[in-house]
A and B are shown apart, each in its own frame.
Chain A
Amino acid sequence: MTAPRFLDPAVLGRIDTLELLARTVVDGFINGLHHAPYLGRSIDFAEHRAYMPGDDIRRIDWRVFGRTDRFYVKEFEADTNTNFSVLLDISRSMDFGSGAITKLDYARYLAACLTYFSRQQRDRVGLVTFDRDVVERVPPSAKHLDTVLHELDRVRPGAAGALAWPLRKIADTVRRRSILVLISDFYEDPQEVARAVRYLRGKGNDVIVFHVLDPAERTFPFEGAGEFEDLESGERIPVVPEELRERYRTMVADHIAEVGRLLVQDRMDYCLFDTSTPLDFALFEYLSRRERLVRVR
């Protein structure tokens, strides 16, 4: 019997601190989320190139000039100074789980892992939680990893969710180009979702969308007639699951496909996560795919 290759979300759920959880998950990765978008000053030498008029003469490597009598300047890998923010939907609908953990827990773990990973790449990390409005906001900062993790740790399900207003407010507060990771279950019309997320793309932000769903939301495995209660509105309707299961599955699949199609169409990364999927596996899959896409670009 071999050990499981990936970490069960239920096992992760038993890890007390998000930092440890994130480290546990991320330490196995070899690739980062992104390359640094700029070349800049840093301690990491990149290459030499011939001097060109206009270059700063302070960057001329005088040792190379002494050996070769030619002017070369040093190129360094710049320090990443990207803002990385997780936009976490904590609406009441996220507080659902048919297994060991809820969607909100899964999203918290996912956010923690991404934040931790980004911080490993020296990004400034931040966090925004929202339901129908912005609930908490941790501005991106190189020193805010602990704050973000702490904030993630104390996240509780909020009120009913709505994407448009909070995402618009978030987009207005983003001052510089950022990597924005949006985690939600997207229980809205796909067009509304796409319109709301489009605000985030407005300033050239790199928007990554994680669609988190519970397996029961996709397969609808319930049996026996009974009332179903909307977690957000409290509305109840009688349902015979056996009678509408197939139709429900079709509608959910259509919804997911439509949300993904619209977001990809807007050049956003879209990834669907199932809370039964191991977290590291999901991250791995996503990062691998993103890597491939970056190379293509």
Chain B
Amino acid sequence: MSFLAPLFLAGLGLVAIPVIIHLTQRQRREPIAFPSLMFLRQIPFRSVKRQRIRHWLLFILRAAAVVLLAVAFARPLLDRPLGITATGGGREVVILLDHSYSMGYGDRWDRGVRAARRAVEGLGPDDRATLVLFADRAVAASPRTADGAVLQAALNGATLSARGTHYAPALELARELLQQSERPRREAVLITDFQASGWDRSEQVRLPEGAGLTRVDLSDPAPHNVAVTGIAVERLSRSGPDRVAVTARVVNRSPDPVPEQRVTLRIDGSPVETALAVLPANGGAVARFAPVPVPSRPVRATVEIAGDALPTDDRFHAVITPRRAIPVLLVEHPDAPPAERIYVRRALEIGDDPPMDMTTGQGAIGAEELAGRAVVIVNDAPLPTAAAASRMRRFVEAGGGLLVVLGRRTAQSQAAGLLPGTAGQALDRLADRGGTLADFDYDHPVFEVFRAPRSGDLTAARIFRYRRFDPDDSVRVLARFDDGAVALAERRVGAGRVMVWTAGFDNFWGDLPVQPVFLPFVHQLVRYLARYVPADPWVTAGDVLDLGSLDASAAGAAARTEWVVEAPSGARVMEETRGGARYVSFEEQGFYELRPVGKDGAARRIVAVNLDARESDLARLDPTEFAAAVVPAAGAGARAASLDVTLSPEERERRQGLWWYLLVAVLLLLVAETVLANRRPRRGPATV
């Protein structure tokens, strides 16, 4: 039994009225004059006596009338199994059960599972159903079956996920399942909390024509939820001990302010500091923690608050990693004056995200110089030959990066076998007052950051001279000058990358080095060549990690590494393979640990997984509007019908019509009360 208008149940409090009436009796306003109170005074007056209910039958009649009236107005709904009773052929039913983490609020999940079980129990012998669990993606948890036991078993295995809500995939899957069915009667049972954040009205996903929708609304009338929606880790020192300042954002998603919210920072599980945040109604606040030193290993940081009705979003995890510089070997020409070297050097010295550990060299590059380097920049210097070239090649094939900057001192024939093409003579553009960079591959990671307006204009630089470069077929040209000549080209060699810049990095061949965009350009080149991926402090549940990107860091080479992934619950997560890529999906909230098989512990990785903060907003969308958007209209007047197409009119009336009987019962009770009350002896004689 449930109620369509449960607020009217507050009327049950009116039962106090007959109780009070029968307990206290009606007090006369005028006292009764009596000859003498000498006898009445001798009888002790006991208030307890006054509180005894008199006229029990009348009291019961009146109280029952009040109770039934309140229940009738609350519109009782018979809690029979969901769905249409099996009449006239089997149905195709898709049970969509929301298992996003917002369903963990209060007892929503238990109610949802019970509703799903009722839907299963309501299936007729000719019906067929599929159980679909959905959050931001939808998965059929059971095959399409008429066997209720299979569906119940699937429900037994259903658990809450750490993902947010997104209705479109679930509706899309339901639409496909219903469309594939040959049965004339098709129905989707949507069991959810109707979270507004999960519904994008622009995603016009509709159920097939003729399909109905049964809504089971599990939302709460006034949910209160406080969540930690994010943390920021700020590095405070560029030299000396590495320290980070953690700042957490706490959001109160309820109409009541929280005057004092305790927010605790834990590092590797140990509480470090507790801050107080004042949360306004439907607002947020920032909790700042004192800076903490960062050890030389990754640590687990967690910001948490006291648990509420939705405890899963009361904590936020992050991994704080020590800062690691990119080791760069800068090879310069011995004859190059300092004025020509300064631009690249300064560019590499500046920057802390990440910092670059620059080493300079001249002449032949030995193995010891390459050791531990991630990137080698040959800045208008002779390219290695013979054995040095072989070492360089192995270095690149193992995953290293090589940037060759062609300048006025670059020999034409030295690039054979290593450069992604052939360098030619220098072209002079002084005649037309210099050329410009005109064509960029903005999809490439190097130029991706410059795609947006006002994010660095490489075309502003005037290039007076550059060296002709004929790329090989395997080369990817990333930038060209306005005359079509190659400015930047790339070639993959083994696991590494080789890039060629044809216009030098001094201000003799052009003014790019003195342009503001030069510094980020060089940094982008180095990051790309070093295959630098900034370590995200956390990822969101549902994200995936390309294990291939970890192989190099683990092995220091291109060798494939097997990873053991352990979820926060302790379960082993199997890697998935798709299209040759190996990846792992993070489905739990907490810290995942990734250990390379056969490697030492230094290669271990920790990944913090957090919930989608949008899901903590428990605002509810209008189920009627939702149904109107999802259920297809079949002509004029069908829209209104589609809103309630969840049940047949007869069944709907059967389930909701109880209130009529209650009102009749109330009427009968009141008639009986009137008769009985009039039969009661009236009050005593009046005084004369």
Residues of A within 8 A of B (CB): 93-94, 96-99, 102-103, 185, 187, 214, 216-217, 220-233, 235-244, 247-248, 251-252, 255
In the docked arrangement, what's the CA distance between A194 and B45, Å?
A: 30
Contacts A230-B37, A237-B37 aside, 20 further interface pairs with beta carbons under 8 A come to A93-B36, A94-B35, A96-B35, A97-B688, A185-B36, A216-B685, A221-B685, A225-B24, A225-B28, A226-B31, A227-B28, A227-B31, A229-B31, A230-B34, A231-B33, A232-B35, A237-B41, A237-B45, A240-B49, A241-B684
A-B pair count, CB < 8 Å, reads 105
Determine if B38 is an interface residue (Cβ-Cβ < 8 Å): yes
Top 4 nearest A-B pairs (CB, nearest first) are A222-B684, A226-B28, A227-B31, A93-B35
Binding site for A on B (CB under 8 A): 24-28, 31-43, 45, 49-50, 52, 54, 681-688
Q: Nearest-CB distance from B668 to chain A (Å)?
A: 27
Interface pair B34/A187, CB less than 8 Å apart = no
Distance, CA A226 to CA B32, complexed state (A): 7
Minimal beta-carbon separation of B226 from chain A (angstroms): 52
Instruction: Indicate whether A230 sits within 8 Å of B36 (C-beta atoms), given known contacts A225-B27, A236-B31.
Output: yes
CB distance from A62 to the nearest CB of B (A): 65
Contact check, A224 vs B37: say whether CB atoms are below 8 A apart.
no
B-chain residues with CB within 8 Å of residue A239 when the two chains form the complex = 40, 45
Partner of B43 from A187, A217, A247 at Cβ < 8 Å: A247
A16 to B211, CA, bound (A): 95
**C-alpha gap A117/B400 in the complex (Å):** 146
Known A97-B688, A223-B684: A187·B28 in contact at CB below 8 Å: no
A187 partner residues in chain B, CB cutoff 8 A = 35-36, 38
Q: CA A97 – CA B687 in complex, angstroms?
A: 7
Q: Which residue on chain A has the smallest CB distance to residue B36?
A: A187
Given contact pairs A217-B35, A225-B27, A244 touches B43 in the complex (Cβ within 8 A): yes
Q: Do B683 and A228 touch (CB < 8 A)?
A: no
A235 near B37: Cβ-Cβ < 8 Å = yes
Q: How far is the CB of B656 from chain A (nearest CB, A)?
A: 43
Q: Which residues of B contact A237 (CB under 8 A)?
A: 37, 40-41, 45
Contacts known (A98-B685, A216-B684, A251-B39); A228 close to B27, Cβ less than 8 A: no
Hey, which chain B residues are within 8 Å of A244, CB to CB?
40, 43
CB-based contact B684/A224 at 8 Å: yes
Q: Which residues of chain B have C-beta atoms less than 8 A from A251's C-beta?
A: 39, 42-43
> Considering residues A217, A225, A247, which has the most beta carbons from chain B within 10 angstroms of its beta carbon?
A225
Is A223 within 8 A of B50, CB to CB? no
Cβ A231 vs Cβ B31 within 8 A: no
Provide the residues of chain A in CB contact with B32, threshold 8 Å. 222, 226-229
Residues on A with beta carbons closer than 8 Å to the beta carbon of B31: 226-229, 236
Q: Which residues of B contact A224 (CB under 8 A)?
A: 25-26, 28, 683-684
Contact check, B688 vs A96: say whether CB atoms are below 8 A apart.
Answer: yes
Contacts of A102 in B (CB 8 A): 688
Q: What are some 13 contacts across the A-B interface (CB < 8 A)?
A: A93-B35, A98-B686, A185-B36, A187-B35, A221-B684, A222-B683, A225-B24, A226-B31, A230-B34, A238-B45, A239-B40, A240-B49, A241-B684
Nearest-neighbour CB distance to chain B for A213, whole angstroms, equals: 9
A226-B688 in contact (CB<8A):
no
| Complex: A95 Cα to B25 Cα, angstroms | 29
Inter-subunit contact B39/A225 (CB<8 Å) = no
**Contact yes or no, B40 A248, CB < 8 A:** yes
Question: A226 contacts which chain B residues (CB < 8 A)?
Answer: 27-28, 31-32
| Contact status B683-A185, CB under 8 Å | no
Name B682's closest neighbour in chain A (CB-CB).
A223
Cα–Cα distance between A239 and B41 once the two chains are bound (Å): 10
Taking a contact as CB atoms under 8 Å apart, the answer to whether A229 and B33 are in contact is: yes
Tell which of B35, B50, B52 touches A214, judged by Cβ atoms closer than 8 Å.
Answer: B35
Give the residue name and chain of the A residue nearest to B50 (CB).
A240
Q: Is the CB of B681 within 8 A of A223?
A: yes
With A and B bound together, what is the CA distance between A221 and B682 in angstroms? 10
Contact for A225 among B25, B35, B43, B688, CB less than 8 A = B25
Q: Are A243 and B688 in contact (CB under 8 A)?
A: no
Residues of A within 8 A of B684 (CB): 216, 220-224, 241
Cross-chain contact B34 with A228 (CB below 8 angstroms)? yes
Bound CA span A102–B35, Å = 11
Task: Find out whether the CB atom of A231 lies under 8 angstroms from the CB atom of B40.
Answer: no
CA distance in complex: A64, B638 (Å): 137
- Residues on B with beta carbons closer than 8 Å to the beta carbon of A235: 37
A248 to B31, CA, bound (A): 18
Nearest-CB residue, chain A, relative to B687: A96
CA distance A275 to B54 in the complex (A): 32
A252 to B684 alpha-carbon distance, docked (Å): 18
> How many Å from the CB of B43 to the closest CB on chain A?
5
> B28 contacts which chain A residues (CB < 8 A)?
224-227
Q: Is B35 a contact of A185 with CB atoms below 8 Å?
A: yes
Nearest CB on B from A263, distance (A)? 19
- Residue numbers in B under 8 Å from A241 (CB-CB): 684
Q: A228 CA to B54 CA in the complex, in Å?
A: 20
Using Cβ atoms and an 8 Å threshold, which residues of chain B touch A230? Answer: 34-37
Query: Once the chains are docked, how many angstroms separate the CA of A227 from the CA of B25?
Result: 12
Bound Cα distance from A173 to B669, whole angstroms: 71
Chain B positions within 8 Å of A227 at CB level: 27-28, 31-32
State in angstroms the CA–CA spacing of A226 and B40 once bound together.
Answer: 13
Q: How far is the CB of A291 from chain B (nearest CB, A)?
A: 32
In angstroms, Cα B28 to Cα A224, docked, is 8
The CB with the most chain B CB atoms within 10 A, among A220, A239, A255, is that of: A239
> What distance in Å separates the Cβ of A243 from its nearest Cβ neighbour in chain B?
5
Q: How far is the CB of A35 from chain B (nearest CB, A)?
A: 37
Q: Shortest distance in angstroms between A30's beta carbon and chain B's nearest beta carbon?
A: 35
Q: How far does the alpha carbon of A223 sit from the alpha carbon of B684 in the complex, in Å?
A: 5
Tell which of B38, B41, B686 has the most Cβ of chain A within 10 Å: B38
Residue of A nearest to B28 (CB): A226
The smallest beta-carbon distance between B20 and chain A, in angstroms, is 13
Min distance, Cβ B19 to any Cβ of chain A, angstroms: 15
Would you call B688 and A222 a contact (CB within 8 A)?
A: no
The complex places the Cα of A61 from the Cα of B191 at a distance, in Å, of 132
A59 to B687 CA separation, bound complex (whole angstroms): 63
- Cβ distance A222 to chain B, nearest Cβ, rounded Å: 3
> Which of A97, A185, A233, A252 is within 8 Å of B39, CB to CB?
A252
Bound form: Cα–Cα A103–B687 in Å: 12
The minimal Cβ–Cβ distance linking B456 to chain A, given in whole angstroms, is: 90
The answer to whether B685 touches A222 (Cβ under 8 A) is yes
In the complex, how many angstroms separate the beta carbon of A131 from the nearest chain B beta carbon?
A: 13
- Measured in the bound complex, the distance between the Cα atoms of B41 and A247 in whole Å is 12
Chain A residues with CB under 8 Å of B683's CB are: 222-224
Which chain A positions have C-beta within 8 A of B688? 96-99, 102
Closest-by-CB residue of A relative to B34 is A228
Partner among A96, A99, A225, A255 whose Cβ is within 8 Å of the Cβ of B34: A96
Residues of B within 8 Å of A240, CB to CB, are 25, 49-50
In the assembled complex, the CB of B238 is this many whole angstroms from the nearest CB of chain A, namely: 86
A220 to B685, CA, bound (A): 9
A214 to B: closest C-beta gap in Å: 7
Indicate which residue in B33, B38, B42, B45 contacts A96 across the interface (CB closer than 8 Å): B33
- For the complex, what is the distance from the CA of A226 to the CA of B31, rounded to whole Å? 6
Q: How far is the CB of A225 from chain B (nearest CB, A)?
A: 4
Tell me the minimal C-beta distance from B446 to chain A in angstroms: 94
Could you say which residues of chain A place their CB within 8 Å of the CB of B34? 96, 228-231
For residue B688, which residue of chain A has the nearest CB? A97
A242 to chain B, nearest CB (A): 7
**Within 8 Å CB of B50, what residues of A?**
225, 240, 243
Q: How far is the CA of A252 from the CA of B40 in the complex (A)?
A: 10
With both chains docked as a complex, state the minimum distance between the C-beta of B22 and any C-beta of chain A, in angstroms: 11
Looking at A97, A185, A228, the one whose CB has the most chain B CB atoms below 10 A away is A228
The answer for the CA separation of A4 and B81 in the assembled complex, in Å, is: 77
Residues of A within 8 A of B25 (CB): 224-225, 240
* Cα distance, A93 to B39, chains bound together (Å): 14
Contacts of B43 in A (CB 8 A): 244, 247-248, 251
Q: How far is the CB of A90 from chain B (nearest CB, A)?
A: 13
Among B41, B52, B687, the most chain A Cβ lie within 10 Å of the Cβ of B687
Cβ contacts under 8 Å, B49 to chain A: 240, 243
